[in-house]
Amino acid sequence: MNILIVEDDRRIASFLSRGLAAEGYQVTVAEDGRDGLEHIRQGGFDLVILDRMLPYVNGLEVCRIVREERRPVLILMLTAKDGIQDKVEGLKGGADDYLTKPFAFDELLARLVALKRRRSSQEDPSVLVVGALSLDPASRRVVCEGRDVSLTVREFELLRYLMANAGKVVSRQRLLNSVWEYGFDPGTKIVDVYIRYLRKKLSDEGASIIQTVRGVGYMIPAG
């Protein structure tokens, strides 16, 4: 896995770079958001470890730009902010995972393994079609009622999981385990938040495509 570290604290960047290199990862370091964004645009990276507080362009804005440009890279956001709203903002901006400082290096490695496993599962090229909704994992294209829908990585994976289980009720806990995979309190409302995002982006069809089963979870009806 080729990793880009975007971190302005040279001590942390050096620590991460040396530790990850020792684990066999290919590592590149950028010291500000502007430089990090340029590296991402040049391509070749599987994952970005992105600090939130950066010079020139902050990490949240870098994340949003990367998702708007549909760059196929996983993002692990690092930040000293540990509030629920801060996490929601980071994930809404397109981060795949969120780790607060200070952190244990072993925890970072565990999250990288989980993200790598998710990337491997995304390589299934089968196009999912449910009614007027289609999702192509290879091109990461979503079409609803003939209209292209732009989704963040997390929104895409949530929709993909629901479509892959069309006709079945999927619990919030199962969605947390399968889509977020690691480090989220099951008591949080993150699933409900992302369901709202999806419904809004799917526009008028959103409420009928993604149905709420009270007290259980969500489902997309088959056919």
Q: For residue range 46-69, what is the model confidence (pLDDT) as tens digits?
A: 899 999 889 999 988 999 899 888
The two tokens of residue 160 are 């993909």
Whether 200 shows a pLDDT value over 60: the answer reads: yes
CB neighbour list of residue 31: distance below 8 Å, 6 or more residues apart: 6, 7, 8, 10, 13, 55
| Among the listed residues 61, 14, 12, 9, the one whose alpha carbon sits nearest the alpha carbon of residue 33 | 61
The predicted pLDDT at position 116 comes to 78
- The answer to whether residue 190 scores a pLDDT higher than 50 is yes
Structure tokens at 126: 């089968």
Q: Can you tell me the distance from the alpha carbon of 212 to that of 191, in angstroms, rounded to the nearest whole number?
A: 12
Residue 33 phi/psi, 5-degree rounding, is -65, -35
* 185, pLDDT greater than 70: no
> Within the chain, where are the H helices?
10-22, 33-42, 59-68, 84-92, 105-121, 153-164, 172-175, 190-201, 206-209
Q: What is the structure's pLDDT at 215?
A: 85
Cα–Cα distance measured from residue 87 to residue 100, given in angstroms and rounded to the nearest whole number: 9
pTM, entire model: 0.57
Residue 11: Cβ within 10 Å count: 8
The yes-or-no verdict on residue 211 having pLDDT over 50 is: yes
- 157 CB-side CA count, 13 A: 24
| Helix or strand holding residue 96 (H, E) | none
* Stretch (H or E) spanning 73: none
Confidence grade of residue 187 (pLDDT, cut at 50, 70, 90): low
pLDDT band with cut points at 50, 70 and 90 for residue 18? very high
H or E element at residue 62: helix 59-68
CB contact at 8 A, 216 and 208: no
Q: Tell me, what's the pLDDT at 206?
A: 47
Is the confidence at residue 142, as pLDDT, over 80?
Answer: yes
Average of per-residue pLDDT across 8-34: 93
- According to the model, what pLDDT value does residue 13 have? 94
Average pLDDT of the chain to the nearest whole number? 85
Tell me which DSSP letter residue 127 carries: P
Q: What are the tokens at 26? A: 């290919």
